[in-house]
Structure 1
Amino acid sequence: MCKLRDCSVCECSENEFPEPFRKPYSGLSPDSMMCQEGKPQAAVDKTLDSKVFKRWVETDNPWTSDDETDNNEMTYVNLQLNPERYTGYTGDSARRIWDAIYKENCPKYPSEELCHEKKVLYKLISGLHSSISVHIAYDYLLDESTNSWGQNLSLLYDRVLKYPERVQNLYFTYLFVLRAVTKAADYLEQAEYNTGNPEDDLKTESLVKQLLYNSQLRSACPLPFDEAKLWQGENGPELKQEIQKQFRNISAIMDCVGCEKCRLWGKLQVLGLGTALKILFSVDGDSHLNQPLQLQRNEVIALFNLLNRLSESVKFVHEKGSSVEEVINEQSPSTVQKGASKTNLKGLFGYSQYTWIGWD
């Protein structure tokens, strides 16, 4: 339950409900956004394809707060109609969300006071936060009067590139999720991708296999993350339960986001991260790692979308790092802080060749 002031989301009455939610999408009206803090770009388009979804096995995820099984409270959303981008959701309300996540669940203690497992949780959340900032900068409303969208490179620098640790954590989270996907390759290959559209289903199966068995990826990054090093020692089980509780709290905080589209992508990506944790560490709260893996359709969707988001973020940072820093230096050479440029990235991560995983 949300305990943050001003983070509750108002329930729209029927006459306030946006028209696109009730009939085929025909554009957003600024007058229908009363529950979206006055920002039309923050609304979620709930127009659906007429294809049906086939029900998967229902099993809960111990790392997330929601019961992700299908129920009457769920709404299907076409993510292609709702890209992750700038929404205008800023200020104290947005800041309180991240403050609650970091301060209450994964604070950054001095390194000597923090165990390895808690460092992992902090890096994962920081990396996800960095990725979200990258996508906001990548698809930004540059001029509201003309509805002009484009890249905000100054924002990219101020929120991410200026801080090498944030870039490093972005890469860490990407590799962590990549490891989960490759570890679950057998399951994901055999999963039933059934939307009622045979052509799309075949394309999806082909793309999944291309990702899971990419020879270039396997040779460049055979073991992206070694999860076997965690939860060692006699306190391992208790520590896992503690961190599971912290991550469930983070998952619950996503319900407090006051922007519907931000909440959509926040919950989706936190579910994807929770799915990666489930794959790498357990299928329940114990150490029964030999139990058969069971994932729900929503978990698979979230996992693949999170990997895509992280991959696109890493790609954009790699491409723009040095050029953005040069522009910032030209604008304010006396005050700019040297950040994680493309040259610096090689030193940060120890390699200069990258394999990008992104779907067109």
Structure 2
Amino acid sequence: MCRMNIEVTIKCACSVLLVLFLVFTHETPKPTAGPAVNFNPVRSRIVLNTTKLDYGYCHSSPAEIDEGTKSLLDILNRITVSPYFRYFKVNSAKPCPYWAVSLLCTSAENTCDVCKCDENSIPEALRADEDMSELNTPDGSVAKTVLQPVNLDDWGDWLKADDGAEYVDLASNPEGNTGYSGPLAAQVWRAIYAENCLSSDKDGTCQELSILRTLLSGLHMSINIHVCTSFYKDPELSSPQRNAGIYNNPNISFFPNCQMYNKRIAPFPDFVGNLYILYQFTLRALAKSRSFFTNDVSIFNTGARGEATLTDLQLHDNIKELFNSRLICSPTFDEGAFLESEKGRSLIPQFKAMMLNVTRLMDCVTCEKCRIWGKLETKGIAVAMKVIMNPENERITLDRSEMVTLVNLARQLAFSVRNAQRLGSVCSEDDCARGLSRPRPSQ
């Protein structure tokens, strides 16, 4: 029988996700002076455990996901540079509610600070009063534990107040290496992981609970792939990655860190598999959200009188293409198998409570750019859960902040899935010699 201590499990899951941002993401290998490095060749493809994908309620094979992602990433790149999806209002200066933190970064190339947008540059139709990253219960408190799931529409009750939030252009501030390092990362890892995870939840091994852990692990892997793919800034726009169809901003380019890929991505196919599960989970949420995006495309209009601009018309076409794409129309995550389990249904309120706490923990991430992407992506997972775990006979709604976070999460995951395999061929000795990845600087 599946048994667990709910409160400890929630604390553990929240702690693990915070650690993923503070430690594993940012304590990346640093270039050292010396001759150009010879990177170890790796397999051109990471072989995934298909049995584990089945256990994660997934239907599409890794090969099907890889093939479909090539075109899907292109569509999502076009969508996420449109005004509706690229401007994200967020308060990145909120104090950590649990301990004192300070923003620390070490990368001179790709700093962790973010340039904010002038509100006057945002189309009036897209201006918002609220912090678009906020996820709150109606009374602003953490959801209480209940025995049975309730209507999940309160997954999307966002704080309607201007509390210092500013607009960020996501396309101009991509997720990637910031060089964050410092004793706080190790301290947080030791304190939270040792106290909340190592000695807890010995009986919480049921399949339903493992899905939650798998989703968080998948986000963990996605973050690391973004870091190692977008590691060395390329101000001269000379990296072959610029023309690889992976970025949504033609004015930003990076070289990958192949040493990091060979050390932290390629040797861990199980963790890459978790990314594929989170990706399919998110794609299924998008598919189930079709009506919110396609029933009335005028919601995307940014004209002064509500009319569609040329950019808006292009977005209308891209939205239609997205929901007609192969992966969105293919069977991905099987929520029916999850929801038919009594244990799965009983865990839904706990998943909600956990995600509420996780989004608040993002204010403890000590890198501004990482904090913003962390807020967006964790809210995106909460929105996906809201859509996936909602009973068919109950109606939900999605507001703009939810649509923006869900689509951007899908784009970030598509980027990671594409590069998890693409870097396998890029980060080989021969390709490095041909300039496809930047070696360490020489003295």
TM-score range, shorter chain: 0.5 to 0.7
Contact 2:155–2:382 (CA<8 Å) still a contact in 1?
A: no
Contact 2:352–2:382 (CA<8 Å) still a contact in 1?
A: no
Residues 1:151 and 2:262 aligned together = no
Cα deviation per residue 1:32-66 (whole Å; 9 max; x = unaligned)? xx96325561111102434223479x996769999
Q: In the TM superposition, what are the counterparts of 1:326-345 in structure 2 within 5 Å?
A: none
Among 80, 104, 107, the residue aligned to 1:37: 104
Cα deviation, residue 244, structure 1? 2.1
Matched letter for residue 162 of structure 2: N
Q: Distance in 2 between matches of 1:127 and 1:106?
A: 20
In structure 2, relative to structure 1, the CA distance for the partners of 1:175 and 1:292 (3 Å cut) is same
Q: In the TM superposition, what are the counterparts of 1:85-234 in structure 2 within 5 Å?
A: 85-94=176-185, 100=192, 104=196, 113-141=204-232, 149-190=254-295, 192-196=299-303, 198-214=309-325, 216-217=326-327, 222-234=330-342
Q: In the TM superposition, what are the counterparts of 1:339-358 in structure 2 within 5 Å?
A: none
In structure 2, relative to structure 1, the CA distance for the partners of 1:202 and 1:231 (3 Å cut) is same
Cα deviation, residue 199, structure 1? 2.1
Cα deviation per residue 1:122-174 (whole Å; 9 max; x = unaligned)? 11111111111111111113799xxx952101112222221111111111111
Match of 1:239 in 2: 347
3-state secondary structure, aligned to 2:317: helix
In structure 2, relative to structure 1, the CA distance for the partners of 1:97 and 1:118 (3 Å cut) is farther
In structure 2, relative to structure 1, the CA distance for the partners of 1:63 and 1:266 (3 Å cut) is farther
Contact 1:63–1:274 (CA<8 Å) still a contact in 2?
A: no
In structure 2, relative to structure 1, the CA distance for the partners of 1:102 and 1:250 (3 Å cut) is farther
Among 365, 368, 382, the residue aligned to 1:260: 368
Cα deviation per residue 1:10-53 (whole Å; 9 max; x = unaligned)? xxxxxxxxxxxxxxxxxxxxxxxx96325561111102434223
Residues 1:303 and 2:375 aligned together = no
Contact 1:105–1:250 (CA<8 Å) still a contact in 2?
A: no
Matched letter for residue 120 of structure 1: I
Q: Distance in 2 between matches of 1:173 and 1:107?
A: 26
Q: Distance in 2 between matches of 1:325 and 1:108?
A: 41
Contact 2:288–2:388 (CA<8 Å) still a contact in 1?
A: yes
Matched letter for residue 170 of structure 1: L
In structure 2, relative to structure 1, the CA distance for the partners of 1:327 and 1:116 (3 Å cut) is farther
Cα deviation per residue 1:74-103 (whole Å; 9 max; x = unaligned)? 322111221111112234434566775898
3-state secondary structure, aligned to 1:76: strand
Match of 2:124 in 1: 52
Among 146, 161, 177, the residue aligned to 1:71: 161
Contact 1:273–1:303 (CA<8 Å) still a contact in 2?
A: yes
Normalization by structure 2: what TM-score? 0.56
Q: Which residues of structure 2 form unaligned runs of 5+?
A: 1-10, 23-100, 138-151, 236-252, 432-443
Which region of structure 1 is more displaced relative to structure 2, 154-163 or 265-274?
154-163
Cα deviation, residue 235, structure 1? 4.3
Q: Distance in 2 between matches of 1:327 and 1:158?
A: 18
Contact 1:46–1:77 (CA<8 Å) still a contact in 2?
A: yes
Which region of structure 1 is more displaced relative to structure 2, 262-271 or 235-244?
235-244
Cα deviation, residue 68, structure 1? 2.9
Contact 1:131–1:310 (CA<8 Å) still a contact in 2?
A: yes
Q: Distance in 2 between matches of 1:169 and 1:78?
A: 29
In structure 2, relative to structure 1, the CA distance for the partners of 1:143 and 1:210 (3 Å cut) is closer
3-state secondary structure, aligned to 2:259: helix
Q: Distance in 2 between matches of 1:306 and 1:129?
A: 13
Contact 2:218–2:271 (CA<8 Å) still a contact in 1?
A: yes
Matched letter for residue 371 of structure 2: R
Q: Distance in 2 between matches of 1:264 and 1:270?
A: 10
Matched letter for residue 263 of structure 1: R
Cα deviation, residue 325, structure 1? 6.4
Normalization by structure 1: what TM-score? 0.68
Among 273, 276, 285, the residue aligned to 2:384: 276
Match of 1:292 in 2: 395
3-state secondary structure, aligned to 1:68: coil
Q: Distance in 2 between matches of 1:268 and 1:262?
A: 10
Contact 2:261–2:423 (CA<8 Å) still a contact in 1?
A: no
3-state secondary structure, aligned to 2:232: strand
Cα deviation per residue 1:157-215 (whole Å; 9 max; x = unaligned)? 2222211111111111111101110111122213511334722222222111111112x
Q: Which residues of structure 1 form unaligned runs of 5+?
A: 8-33, 283-287, 329-360
Matched letter for residue 352 of structure 2: Q
Among 165, 172, 182, the residue aligned to 1:81: 172
In structure 2, relative to structure 1, the CA distance for the partners of 1:291 and 1:233 (3 Å cut) is closer
Contact 1:251–1:271 (CA<8 Å) still a contact in 2?
A: yes
